[in-house]
Structure 1
Amino acid sequence: MQTNNHIPNYFKSKQLKLPLSLEIKIPFDSEVRTFDEVFSKLEIDKYLKYPKDTRGRIGYNPHQMLKLILFCQMEKIQTLRDLAKAARNDIRIMWLTDELMPSHQTIKTFMDKYLVNGIDNIFYELTKYLIKEENIDTNNLFIDGTKIESVANKYSFTWRGSVEKFRDKLYKKISKLLTELNLRYQESDMLFNTHETYDATYLFKIKNFLDKEIKLHKINFVAGKGKRKAPLQRDYEHILDYITKLNEYQNHLDIMGPDRNSYAKTDKSATFMHMKEDHMRNSQLKPGYNIQIGVADEYILHMDIYQDRSDYKTFIPFLEGLKQSYGYYPKYPVADAGYGGLVNYMYLKLNHMELFQKYTMYSKDTHDKKRMNDPYFALNLIKEGDDFKSPNGDVLKYVHKNKKGNEVYELPNGKQKEINNENLEYQKEVIKNLKSPLGIDLRNQRSIQVEGAFGVIKEAFNVRRFRRRGTVNVKMEFFLTAIGYNLRKYYNKKYRITE
């Protein structure tokens, strides 16, 4: 048996050899070819114009920079340093960006300049292309939300209840001080009125009075051990301290706004919420954001970030944002029990959308036999004039309408029952819709599509905690993730690849 061990001594494995073109190395079904095909058909240049006040040297080509960032999102590469590393080592990215190799700081600067306020336009440019290319049925939109933790320190909390409690205690201290001042300076013909609440402007007037008294009596301020402060100095310092505290409490409340009860000091846009990942099993609140997405044919068509913990309150602004982005409402916006309610149902009917959203008691109203067999169960009652008639023949007499807007009816046993007739009609329509063949199919699709999308984003894309602070920056980060998700989904569908 003869072996060929002959290796030319003039050959080196690291020497330069053909081919020199990177394109030859990339397979026809590579992700980067699909990405380049899609990117070339988008009108991206209008969102990447240089700012008019740009000075100094011309930076990297923004077109190529955007390619680098978006393709890395498609490949689940998200940190700045990982992006910079991939640009230096991945031949697909070298071919795509013409061997662009920016530093992580350059990538961050590009994001801050072009993407923080413009990524939403790029996202909707892509989704409109996908709708046309994939014939996406936009009549069906599956909506759901999840909470994702902020990068803020989880122990840097500020609570509305605590702020208001300490502010109320401060009001009492101010009233007590003003009473003492009225006694102390009654010879000056000054009277400081006491109130239940105070603001800094009112205390500044008292401070100005004390300033004049200090100059008039030539009071020298003292400090330190063995020094005795004059009454005027003590009063002046108390007023200054109370002004500072009032401004501090008001600043906390201004940051929270009228709709929030907490915020994180290290990310003032984040609200403390219950998260699904509760490792300590003590229902610990963590700073985070409420992420809402709308999915159709497995693609994310719309998304938004909210500081409100309740999904119910996000439903109307979410659909209004969709209308603003696409110019129309979906015919069947399907959502779970967290979104159904009178206000949302009225909004849907007003805008000619169908009711396919469960309400809070939907499960009990359709599965609890004891509840369903109750003769006075609201859904079993039949309207007769102003009264209701139960299946067993009993009549529920109308009494009055209460402050909540509900009608009050008297039962035969003397007890009273509240019913909102308008909401009751909506609930009947919801049950009818969701139990229809179309409703059953839409419910199943909602569970698969929108919850599946969140599963992929959290597990495959590893988005369990944001890396940036502030609503604007967090929104940019999730828009980038959604773009990467849609591009990956398009590629998988194109080549029938199942993740």
Structure 2
Amino acid sequence: MLLPPDLEELIDKNHPVRVINAVLDHLDIDAISAKYKGGGTSSYHPRLLLKVLVYAYICNEYSSRRIEQLLKRDIQFMWLAGMATPDHNTINRFRSEKLKDVLKDVFTQVVKLLVDSGHIGLKDINVDGTKVEANANRYTFVWGGAIKTNKEKMAGQLEQLWDYAESIAAEELKDKRPQAFSPTDPQAVQQTIDQLNEVLKDKAVDKKVKQKLNYARKNWPANTAKYNEQEKILAGRNSYSKTDPDATFMRMKEDHMKNGQLKPGYNVQISSENQFVLNYTLHPNPTDTLTLPAHIEDFEQQLEHTPDTLTADAGYGSQQNYELLEAAGIEAYVKYNYFDKEQQGRRSPFAADQLHYNEAEDYIVCPMGQHMQNAGSFKSKTSAGYEQTITNYQASNCNGCPLRGMCHKQKGNRIIEVNHRLRKLKQQAAERLRSEAGIQKRKKRCADVEPVFANIKHNKGFRRFMLRSKAKVTIEIGLIAMAHNLQKFTKASQTKKNISIAA
């Protein structure tokens, strides 16, 4: 070659890398730049590293070592980086440290560019979630239920030891019995064991009791402290992985037979419109029901906008979510758990929510026409602490009823629990979902938000995080969401033959 090649001539004018370069040149990255203290040796510009990372995610390349190799031999990466060759440590530090807590703002700028270009309007959104496996050991875990069982067992054994000590040293232990043997304070557990040892040291004690006391003295105070620390990490969850304490064990349907597999992971929630990702949040909850309040709050905070309508599946149908959307002025097209069965006519006529309610006289009509009278109300709290009012209704006489075997299996007269507020909210939701607009939105939801997950998991092969901890995993899902949006924007721009973001 007589003259060295020019990379500018080797990159096609309509190549996606040019669009990515143009879009990211227009973003404000002052928040990222502020993380560089200055001084010391020269460093690579954060905009350059951001471009490289986003384009790598578009190309389904997530390994920092693999990206390092591409910067040395792939002409698109070489052109984008201006022949710079940061090593994998630099790339990984930028991704896991410099983008922490600031990438969401950069992603929001991309969403606002999509709004300005007319690709999305932020008015009608679809919400759904998927579970993504964490980069954590599947076999090193802590269960909240096991901690509770062990603490209860410890408390029971402490009480038995005290009862035994009282049987042979009643005078010494008189008026000294603890009010409770709950092992929550390691010092209290240690004090109780020391007190028992002191009382029994000169007594003829059973050999097994001595062994148990010695074991308790060596292990129980330390175990109590360990359980307290584990419960602090759990923070209300039912499990966590020892190699990534932020990850919760969730049942994932990943094999071709859809067999449930229990793996550490995160629940990723997204809002979408026209198959663009508008917002994303991560949650430790295995189910979607409790994720909506935090997701909507983050949506409104990031985009400074409240959507007009929201469409979601039955996983979000709860009193808390319906009332939240109603208070926010968002028209909710959200299914409840039995909506599809009702549509298909497979709902049992004996189900409590299928029985007729006379609001004027406050009674429910059973399948035989008997009036079930109000038997009192009580307050109940959900697992999220949301308070509900439940009313009991009881039939007056179920003896000899020919439908009793199909109606209920209770010993006496049938009693049902009714949440009138939720019942009314479900009726309103059903009316919206069955309307012409509701039917269109239900059809569109499946073709809007589901393909986003399909593209991320199947086409892009992103089924497992590479980093650990919620803060770093949030960066990963932000990069993959940004890559998805820019890749789709690039295709739309090429279709319109308009790749200039400035235009």
Rg (Cα) greater in structure: 1
After TM superposition, the structure 1 = structure 2 runs for residues 83-482 of structure 1, keeping only pairs within 5 Å, are 83-178=67-162, 191=176, 193=178, 195-198=180-183, 199-205=185-191, 238-258=216-236, 260-278=237-255, 283-368=260-345, 371=348, 374=349, 378=353, 381=356, 383-387=358-362, 394=369, 396=371, 398-403=373-378, 404=380, 405-409=389-393, 415-482=414-481
Q: Secondary structure of the residue that 2:85 maps to in structure 1?
A: coil
- 1:108-148 C-alpha deviation (Å, 9 max, x unpaired): 12223311222111111111111111341211111111111
For 2:218 and 2:421, the matched residues in 1 are separated by 55
Asked if structure 2 preserves the Cα contact closer than 8 Å seen for 1:375 and 1:390, the reply is: no
Residue 156 (structure 1) shift: 1.1
- 1:153-197 C-alpha deviation (Å, 9 max, x unpaired): 111122112222122222233334556777689779995637331
Which has the higher mean CA deviation after the structures are superposed, 153-162 or 42-51? Answer: 42-51
For 2:36 and 2:23, the matched residues in 1 are separated by 26
Distance 1:352-1:135 versus aligned 2 partners, 3 A rule? same
Letter in 1 for 2:10: K
CA RMSD of aligned residues (A): 3.4
Letter in 1 for 2:8: E
Equivalent of residue 35 in structure 1, options 12, 17, 20: 20
Residue 396 (structure 1) shift: 3.9
For 1:265 and 1:280, the matched residues in 2 are separated by 29
Letter in 1 for 2:58: M
Q: Secondary structure of the residue that 2:471 maps to in structure 1?
A: helix
For 1:169 and 1:389, the matched residues in 2 are separated by 45
Q: Secondary structure of the residue that 1:284 maps to in structure 2?
A: strand
- 1:60-91 C-alpha deviation (Å, 9 max, x unpaired): 12221111111212222211112111111122
For 2:359 and 2:96, the matched residues in 1 are separated by 64
Asked if structure 2 preserves the Cα contact closer than 8 Å seen for 1:210 and 1:232, the reply is: no
For 2:177 and 2:359, the matched residues in 1 are separated by 64
Distance 1:175-1:47 versus aligned 2 partners, 3 A rule? same
* Corresponding residue number in structure 1 for 2:3: 17
Letter in 2 for 1:174: L
- 1:258-297 C-alpha deviation (Å, 9 max, x unpaired): 2x11111111111111101146876331111111111012
Taking structure 1 as the reference length, the TM-score comes to: 0.83
After TM superposition, the structure 1 = structure 2 runs for residues 14-93 of structure 1, keeping only pairs within 5 Å, are 15-18=1-4, 20-52=5-37, 54=38, 56-93=40-77
Letter in 2 for 1:432: E
Distance 1:391-1:153 versus aligned 2 partners, 3 A rule? closer
Letter in 2 for 1:298: Q
For 1:240 and 1:455, the matched residues in 2 are separated by 53
Letter in 2 for 1:309: P
Query: Which residues of structure 2 form unaligned runs of 5+?
Result: 200-208, 381-388, 399-413, 497-503
Residue 207 (structure 1) shift: 7.7
* Corresponding residue number in structure 1 for 2:202: none
Residue 93 (structure 1) shift: 2.0
For 2:304 and 2:221, the matched residues in 1 are separated by 50
Letter in 2 for 1:348: L
Letter in 1 for 2:152: D
Identity %: 27
Asked if structure 2 preserves the Cα contact closer than 8 Å seen for 1:388 and 1:395, the reply is: no
Asked if structure 1 preserves the Cα contact closer than 8 Å seen for 2:365 and 2:372, the reply is: no
Distance 1:412-1:81 versus aligned 2 partners, 3 A rule? same
For 1:446 and 1:329, the matched residues in 2 are separated by 19
Asked if structure 2 preserves the Cα contact closer than 8 Å seen for 1:116 and 1:472, the reply is: yes
- 1:384-408 C-alpha deviation (Å, 9 max, x unpaired): 5133687999574542343252334
Letter in 2 for 1:400: A
Q: Secondary structure of the residue that 2:84 maps to in structure 1?
A: coil
Asked if structure 1 preserves the Cα contact closer than 8 Å seen for 2:366 and 2:372, the reply is: no
For 2:134 and 2:48, the matched residues in 1 are separated by 30
Asked if structure 2 preserves the Cα contact closer than 8 Å seen for 1:72 and 1:78, the reply is: yes
Asked if structure 2 preserves the Cα contact closer than 8 Å seen for 1:200 and 1:246, the reply is: yes
Taking structure 2 as the reference length, the TM-score comes to: 0.82
Letter in 1 for 2:233: I
Distance 1:165-1:334 versus aligned 2 partners, 3 A rule? same
For 1:103 and 1:377, the matched residues in 2 are separated by 64
Residue 338 (structure 1) shift: 0.6
Distance 1:385-1:190 versus aligned 2 partners, 3 A rule? closer
For 2:365 and 2:119, the matched residues in 1 are separated by 49
Letter in 1 for 2:390: N
Query: Which residues of structure 1 form unaligned runs of 5+?
Result: 1-14, 214-230
Which has the higher mean CA deviation after the structures are superposed, 202-211 or 454-463? Answer: 202-211
Distance 1:187-1:445 versus aligned 2 partners, 3 A rule? closer
Residue 370 (structure 1) shift: 6.6
For 1:209 and 1:375, the matched residues in 2 are separated by 60
Which has the higher mean CA deviation after the structures are superposed, 58-67 or 176-185? Answer: 176-185
For 2:221 and 2:368, the matched residues in 1 are separated by 68
Distance 1:192-1:57 versus aligned 2 partners, 3 A rule? farther
For 1:166 and 1:81, the matched residues in 2 are separated by 44
